[in-house]
A and B are shown apart, each in its own frame.
Chain A
Amino acid sequence: MLFNTIQFFAFFVAVTALFYQLPRGAARKYLLLIASYVFYGTWNWKFLPLLGIITLLDYFCALGVERLTEPRKRKAFLILSVGANLGFLGIFKYYNFAASNLAHGLGLPDDSWTAAIVLPIGISFHTFQSISYVVDVYRGEQKAVRNLGDYALFIAFFPQLVAGPIVRAAEFFEDYYTWRKPDVDEVLRGVLWMLMGLTKKMALADQFSQIADEYFGHLSAHPGAAAAWSGIFSFAMQIFFDFSGYTDMAIGMALLLGFHFPVNFLRPYLAFSITDFWHRWHVSLSRWLRDYLYIPLGGNRGGSWKTYRNLMLTMLLGGLWHGASWNFIIWGGYHGAWLSVERMLGRKKFMQTPGALLYPFRALLTFVLVCIGWVFFRAATFTDSIYVLRNMFTGSWDSASILVPVWLFCFVAIAFGIALAEEKWEWIERLPRGPAWAYAILLVALLFSVELLGVTEKAVPFVYFQF
């Protein structure tokens, strides 16, 4: 059940209506839990037991970690939980990658030991959420949840189950235990977030996906620099509008149910450095990688070279988290290298917003660098990536080969203007408190955009669902 389908809309309306009809307390909790399991089951009900097992395991491990006093035993429970989560992830996501590379290394056919494994949707997200919870309990930053239903809901809560944002237990349970009905402002914001997300997904991401798919699916049919740049520009737009559209919808839905999710995208293409980009792109993953990987590795505490090593390791693993392929590892390494370079040149330069004159050049350069990274992210193979890069930088320029129509550029320009205004005034948060007519105009514009420009012939899956 994709967010951008009428089935999901009906499901969400029904669940929300029922939620507010039920008395506060257990009934609402179990409604959301059942709805979340139904939502997950519509993808593939066979993976429901897996979700249940991971939930039970981490629930008991966290209790064990909290109740035991002996450090060795506490650590054992932590290792059991983290190991099990990573084990499941490893089996489902990385087994075939490891097996085919090992076979290749031994001179055997790549598929010698591979198996037909279906990746459970959302496993990368909910296992990271589980790990963070048990680690937080181990660190004493979070109390172990006593009620299994409460914990199961934290893991399975349907708005963010399959593609985040990765919510910390403290954030979720703060809302959960002190739940209050959303006020007018929150309802209006919730609806606005949902509709903005839907517009981003259907009217922009899905439009750009057609161009990106055409380009990357038929590379030899589109030679030259103009086609290559428009192909990668389209993918850059697709992945941003797709993923941020999804999380906007998740945030909006959660808000309507009385939960406050962290913002996952802070206008990443306005970043003026790679360091700044990672403070704006997939914020909940960056935060997770920082708190549970980079800092435990030593962060920036061991001198320059160790800092660069930790940055590289974090980004390489971050790349691998996205998918089991060398291209994702290269993409992670590419970003890790730029983060290290920026750190080497002086962190402050890349953290503080440059002056108004310099900013556009820095932002443009950062966008180009990010686009180069996206080549590895999107291309099917390393060879394809090199082919695209070669075309981008050494191919001949023929304007007739530009794949993006002018009107789509115009919509990107509008989105760019909206992002700049949001960066300066944060008007999205403030709009519901402003005049009703302004709010209504925006909503009407979004509705028309979805109706007239949204790709509705088929529901296009979200890019991040594959991770």
Chain B
Amino acid sequence: MKRAYPVLLGTLVVFLGLHALVFHSGLYAYWVNPSSSTGYLETILYHESIRPKNGPNQVVGVGDSRMALMPKHANAMTPETGYSFGTLGVAGATPRVWYYILRDADPKADRYRAIVICLDNYNDEDALEDLADRETDLSYLLNRLRLSDLNEFALSYHDRQRQWHAASTILFRGLGYKRDVEDLLHGPIERARTVRQSWRDSYTWFYDFQDTAKNLVGLEVDWEHRKVKFPEGLDHGLEEGILRRMVEPIPPQIGRHTHYMQLWLGKIAQHYARSQTKLIFLRLPRAAWIRPDLPPTNPNSSVHQLEKQYPNVVLLPEHLFDQLETPEFFKDEYHMTQPGLDRFTEILARKVREILGPAH
């Protein structure tokens, strides 16, 4: 006679087996929408894996959408610097995401001579948002998080519901792919076409990408009256963004972000602790105009502590890119124009060469 438990247990085993095959083998990740957070991160990692690497003199940059290193421009300087550059910059990615990206892109911590980590500031400035509770991190990392990450990743959220959501999604990745599955069901043929095209061509799209040259020249800030004069013909949304960044009150500095940065930058540093790879931190050009009420320099911030703790951690001079903080080099409240990006890349490539010395 049939027994209930073996049948139910067998069913569970079949389910988990199929689940692992579909979601943990990369099978589904291959078909994920390249425009989704997961698909975007997977694409960037794929680009880095197929990037032509001539020799051991590889440098890669990590950061978010403000990551201003342009590999094509930097590689044009290879005859001068001796180094090849790549990027793992992902728009919207946070230091938590950077850690998992680097762990998977460089599992043995031996692929790069240097990792360039682009920060908004060296002061761990608190923003309105608590980055520890950013839900999209989970979407980016859906195909990267392992069962062994469950505890650490889920508990890095402060909010209980998000902890639970993260834990359940790591266990059952399908929960995280829900929207993508619906999108796939909406148009499976179109999806197949997009995915194939993306795997085939997107490396060139990204590598050859040229940003706009349209800048914010004409921007003037009357700090005393908290008024901004915008350049002619600026988009309304852009004006609001600039107002928010330039004149609205800065949130109280309570040290929340320090804890977050210590944790995730610390994990990156630990990953490279016994390697030859240099971790080069830099402060990105902040904005087209620098407000005078920014928090004072914090000598005990997370990056300063890491510099003291790890010999392979290097902090580029905080003001190295100040010359680029002008309306001429910015297209909006955060991001640089193509000329700005090019200038940044040139300065950085030469600085990296200076720190690492001649290429091997």
**Residues of A at under 8 Å CB distance from B?**
6, 184, 187-188, 191, 405-407, 410, 436, 439-440, 443-444, 447-448, 451-454, 456
Whether B182 and A184, one on each chain, are in contact in the complex, defined by CB atoms closer than 8 angstroms, is no
Chain A residue nearest to B22 (CB atoms) is A448
Complex contact A443–B11 (CB within 8 A): yes
For B11, list chain A residues within 8 Å (CB): 439-440, 443-444
User: A440 with B4: in contact, given A448-B174, A451-B175, A452-B177 (CB under 8 Å)?
Assistant: no
Q: Given A440-B10, A444-B14, A451-B175, are A407 and B2 also a contact pair (CB < 8 Å)?
A: no
B182 CB contact (under 8 Å) in A6, A407, A448, A456: A407
Whether the pair A187, B10 counts as a contact (CB closer than 8 A) is no
A162→B19 CA distance, assembly (Å): 34
B188-205 toward A: CB 8 Å interface, digit per residue (1/0)?
A: 000000000000000000
Q: A188-B8, A440-B14 given as contacts; is B186 within 8 A of A451 (CB)?
A: no
The verdict on B181 contacting chain A, using a C-beta distance below 8 Å, is: yes
CA distance A436 to B11 in the complex (A): 9
> Quick one: CB contact mask for B150-192 with A, threshold 8 Å, 1 for yes?
0000000000000010001000101101100110011000000
B206 lies within 8 A of chain A by Cβ: no
Interfacial residues, chain B to chain A (CB-CB below 8 A)? 1-4, 7-8, 10-11, 14-15, 18-19, 164, 168, 172, 174-175, 177-178, 181-182, 185-186
Which residues from chain A contact B177 at a C-beta distance below 8 Å? 452
In the assembled complex, the CB of B15 is this many whole angstroms from the nearest CB of chain A, namely 5
Inter-chain CA distance A148–B299, complex, in Å, is 72
Closest 7 interchain pairs by CB?
Answer: A407-B185, A451-B174, A187-B4, A440-B11, A184-B4, A443-B11, A452-B181
Given contacts A188-B8, A436-B2, A452-B174, 12 further A-B contacts (CB under 8 A): A6-B168, A405-B182, A406-B186, A407-B185, A410-B185, A436-B10, A439-B7, A444-B15, A448-B19, A452-B181, A454-B178, A456-B175
Q: Which B residues are CB-close (under 8 A) to A439?
A: 7, 11
CB–CB B8/A191 < 8 A: yes
12 contacts between A and B (CB under 8 A): A188-B4, A188-B7, A407-B186, A436-B2, A436-B7, A439-B11, A443-B15, A448-B18, A452-B178, A453-B178, A456-B175, A456-B178
CB-CB under 8 A from B15, the residues of chain A are 443-444, 447-448
In angstroms, Cα B2 to Cα A6, docked, is 29
With both chains docked as a complex, state the minimum distance between the C-beta of A388 and any C-beta of chain B, in angstroms. Answer: 26
CB contacts (< 8 Å) of B14 on chain A: these are: 440, 444
CB neighbours of B175 from chain A (8 A) = 451, 456
- A184 touching B1, Cβ below 8 Å: yes
Identify the closest chain A residue to B7 (Cβ). A436
Q: Report how far A440 CA is from B11 CA in the complex, Å.
A: 5
From A189, which residue of chain B is reached at the shortest CB distance? B4
Flag if B186 contacts A405 (CB, 8 Å).
yes
Report the minimal beta-carbon distance from A378 to chain B, rounded to whole angstroms. 24
Contacts of B164 in A (CB 8 A): 6
Closest chain B CB from A189 CB (angstroms): 10
Given A407-B186, A451-B175, A184 and B3 contact (CB-CB distance below 8 Å): yes
Nearest CB in chain B: distance from A132 CB, A: 33
Min distance, Cβ B162 to any Cβ of chain A, angstroms = 12
Q: In the complex where A440-B7, A443-B15 touch, is A184 in contact with B2 (Cβ < 8 A)? A: yes
Q: How far is the CA of A405 from the CA of B8 in the complex (A)?
A: 34
Residues of chain A with a CB closer than 8 A to B10's CB: 436, 440
CB distance from B232 to the nearest CB of A (A): 36
Which residues of A lie under 8 Å from residue B168 when comparing CB positions?
Answer: 6
B residues near A443, Cβ cutoff 8 Å:
11, 15
Minimum Cβ distance to chain B for residue A408 (Å): 8
Closest chain A residue to B174, Cβ basis: A451
Residues of A within 8 A of B2 (CB): 184, 436
Q: Which of A191, A440, A447, A453 contacts B181 (CB 8 A)?
A: A453
**Residues of chain B within 8 A of A406, CB atoms compared:** 186
- In Å, the complex CA distance between A191 and B5 comes to 11
Q: Say how far A65's CB is from chain B's closest CB, in angstroms.
A: 42
Q: Name, among A187, A405, A436, A452, the residue most crowded by chain B CB atoms within 10 Å (CB to CB).
A: A452
- Contact residues in B for A440 (Cβ distance below 8 Å): 7, 10-11, 14
